[in-house]
Amino acid sequence: MEIQIKTFDNLSVMELYDLLKLRSEVFVVEQECIYLDIDGKDGKALHVLGILEGKIVAYSRIFKAGDYFMNPSIGRVVVAKSHRKKGYAKVMMEAAMEYIFNSLKEGKIELSAQTYLSRFYTELGFKIVGEAYLEDGIPHRKMIYG
Protein backbone atom coordinates (compact mmCIF):
# COMPACT_ATOMS: atom_id res chain seq x y z
CA MET A 1 0.00 0.00 0.00
CA GLU A 2 1.34 3.41 -0.97
CA ILE A 3 0.95 6.23 1.57
CA GLN A 4 0.45 9.82 0.48
CA ILE A 5 -0.02 12.77 2.84
CA LYS A 6 -1.65 15.85 1.38
CA THR A 7 -3.10 19.15 2.47
CA PHE A 8 -6.75 19.76 1.64
CA ASP A 9 -5.78 22.10 -1.21
CA ASN A 10 -3.56 19.43 -2.76
CA LEU A 11 -6.27 16.77 -2.93
CA SER A 12 -7.72 16.19 -6.36
CA VAL A 13 -11.48 16.37 -6.70
CA MET A 14 -11.55 12.59 -7.24
CA GLU A 15 -9.38 11.93 -4.15
CA LEU A 16 -11.68 14.11 -2.04
CA TYR A 17 -14.74 12.32 -3.41
CA ASP A 18 -13.20 8.88 -2.77
CA LEU A 19 -12.08 9.62 0.79
CA LEU A 20 -15.45 11.12 1.72
CA LYS A 21 -17.18 8.11 0.16
CA LEU A 22 -14.99 5.72 2.18
CA ARG A 23 -15.63 7.61 5.43
CA SER A 24 -19.38 7.64 4.74
CA GLU A 25 -19.48 3.92 3.84
CA VAL A 26 -17.85 2.96 7.14
CA PHE A 27 -18.76 5.60 9.72
CA VAL A 28 -22.31 6.38 8.59
CA VAL A 29 -23.62 3.30 6.74
CA GLU A 30 -21.69 0.34 8.23
CA GLN A 31 -21.67 1.67 11.79
CA GLU A 32 -25.24 2.92 11.41
CA CYS A 33 -24.35 6.30 12.88
CA ILE A 34 -26.18 9.29 11.52
CA TYR A 35 -23.82 12.21 11.94
CA LEU A 36 -22.30 14.97 9.82
CA ASP A 37 -18.98 13.53 8.66
CA ILE A 38 -18.21 16.68 6.67
CA ASP A 39 -17.53 18.64 9.84
CA GLY A 40 -15.79 21.76 8.52
CA LYS A 41 -12.40 20.55 9.78
CA ASP A 42 -11.03 18.92 6.63
CA GLY A 43 -9.58 22.23 5.41
CA LYS A 44 -7.17 22.32 8.38
CA ALA A 45 -6.30 18.63 8.25
CA LEU A 46 -3.52 16.74 6.58
CA HIS A 47 -5.01 13.80 4.72
CA VAL A 48 -3.27 10.42 4.86
CA LEU A 49 -4.25 8.31 1.88
CA GLY A 50 -3.62 4.57 1.71
CA ILE A 51 -3.62 3.72 -1.98
CA LEU A 52 -3.67 0.24 -3.48
CA GLU A 53 -3.96 -0.35 -7.23
CA GLY A 54 -4.96 3.29 -7.74
CA LYS A 55 -7.79 3.21 -5.17
CA ILE A 56 -7.99 4.78 -1.71
CA VAL A 57 -8.54 1.77 0.56
CA ALA A 58 -7.46 3.38 3.84
CA TYR A 59 -7.50 6.90 5.20
CA SER A 60 -6.85 9.06 8.24
CA ARG A 61 -6.44 12.73 8.96
CA ILE A 62 -3.89 14.59 11.05
CA PHE A 63 -4.36 17.87 12.87
CA LYS A 64 -1.53 20.07 14.09
CA ALA A 65 -1.47 21.05 17.78
CA GLY A 66 -4.28 23.49 18.54
CA ASP A 67 -6.24 22.82 15.33
CA TYR A 68 -8.52 20.23 16.96
CA PHE A 69 -7.05 19.23 20.32
CA MET A 70 -4.28 20.83 22.35
CA ASN A 71 -1.86 18.20 21.00
CA PRO A 72 -1.45 17.00 17.42
CA SER A 73 -4.13 14.43 16.68
CA ILE A 74 -5.08 11.62 14.35
CA GLY A 75 -8.67 10.86 13.48
CA ARG A 76 -11.09 9.31 11.00
CA VAL A 77 -8.85 6.23 10.75
CA VAL A 78 -10.65 3.93 8.34
CA VAL A 79 -10.00 0.91 6.14
CA ALA A 80 -12.41 -0.27 3.44
CA LYS A 81 -14.29 -3.39 4.52
CA SER A 82 -12.83 -5.31 1.56
CA HIS A 83 -9.26 -4.58 2.74
CA ARG A 84 -9.44 -5.28 6.48
CA LYS A 85 -7.43 -7.86 8.42
CA LYS A 86 -4.33 -7.07 6.34
CA GLY A 87 -2.61 -4.68 8.75
CA TYR A 88 -3.50 -1.53 6.82
CA ALA A 89 -4.89 0.31 9.88
CA LYS A 90 -1.54 -0.17 11.62
CA VAL A 91 0.32 1.03 8.52
CA MET A 92 -1.90 4.13 8.41
CA MET A 93 -1.35 4.89 12.10
CA GLU A 94 2.40 4.38 11.86
CA ALA A 95 2.60 6.69 8.84
CA ALA A 96 0.56 9.39 10.60
CA MET A 97 2.59 9.05 13.80
CA GLU A 98 5.88 9.21 11.88
CA TYR A 99 4.71 12.38 10.14
CA ILE A 100 3.83 13.99 13.47
CA PHE A 101 7.18 13.00 15.02
CA ASN A 102 9.44 13.81 12.05
CA SER A 103 7.72 16.60 10.10
CA LEU A 104 5.79 18.39 12.84
CA LYS A 105 8.52 17.69 15.42
CA GLU A 106 5.96 16.81 18.09
CA GLY A 107 6.20 14.06 20.70
CA LYS A 108 2.60 13.84 21.91
CA ILE A 109 -0.45 12.69 19.97
CA GLU A 110 -4.07 12.77 21.08
CA LEU A 111 -7.03 10.81 19.79
CA SER A 112 -10.67 10.24 20.44
CA ALA A 113 -10.82 6.49 19.88
CA GLN A 114 -13.88 4.31 19.54
CA THR A 115 -13.82 2.24 22.73
CA TYR A 116 -13.79 -1.11 20.94
CA LEU A 117 -10.47 -0.08 19.33
CA SER A 118 -8.71 0.78 22.61
CA ARG A 119 -6.56 -2.36 22.47
CA PHE A 120 -5.42 -1.57 18.91
CA TYR A 121 -4.27 1.90 19.99
CA THR A 122 -2.64 0.72 23.24
CA GLU A 123 -0.59 -1.73 21.16
CA LEU A 124 0.73 1.34 19.29
CA GLY A 125 1.74 2.98 22.58
CA PHE A 126 -1.32 5.10 23.38
CA LYS A 127 -2.67 5.30 26.93
CA ILE A 128 -6.31 5.78 27.96
CA VAL A 129 -6.99 9.08 29.74
CA GLY A 130 -10.20 9.60 31.71
CA GLU A 131 -13.60 8.01 31.46
CA ALA A 132 -15.47 6.75 28.41
CA TYR A 133 -17.85 9.20 26.74
CA LEU A 134 -20.31 9.21 23.86
CA GLU A 135 -19.37 10.88 20.60
CA ASP A 136 -22.09 10.79 17.94
CA GLY A 137 -23.77 8.05 19.98
CA ILE A 138 -20.70 5.76 19.95
CA PRO A 139 -18.58 5.07 23.08
CA HIS A 140 -15.14 6.70 22.83
CA ARG A 141 -12.01 7.08 24.97
CA LYS A 142 -9.49 9.90 24.99
CA MET A 143 -6.05 8.43 24.34
CA ILE A 144 -2.59 10.03 24.46
CA TYR A 145 0.77 8.94 23.07
CA GLY A 146 3.91 10.35 24.66
Burial state string for 108-134 with b = 16 or more CB within 10 A and e = fewer than 16: ebbbebbeeebeebeebebeeeeeeee
The whole-angstrom separation of Cα 93 and Cα 113 is 12
Per-residue pLDDT, 7? 98
* pLDDT at residue number 84: 97
Collect the ranges in the chain with pLDDT lower than 50: none
| In the chain, domain spans | 2-145
Q: 3-state DSSP call for residue 85?
A: coil
pLDDT of amino acid 46: 98
83 — phi, psi (to 5°)? Answer: -120, 20
Q: What is the pLDDT of residue 49?
A: 98
DSSP H stretches of helix in the chain: 13-23, 88-102, 118-123
* pTM assigned to the model: 0.94
Kindly state which CATH superfamily the domain 2-145 is placed in. Gcn5-related N-acetyltransferase (GNAT) (3.40.630.30)
pLDDT, tens digit, for every residue of 9-48? 999 999 999 999 999 999 999 999 988 999 999 999 999 9
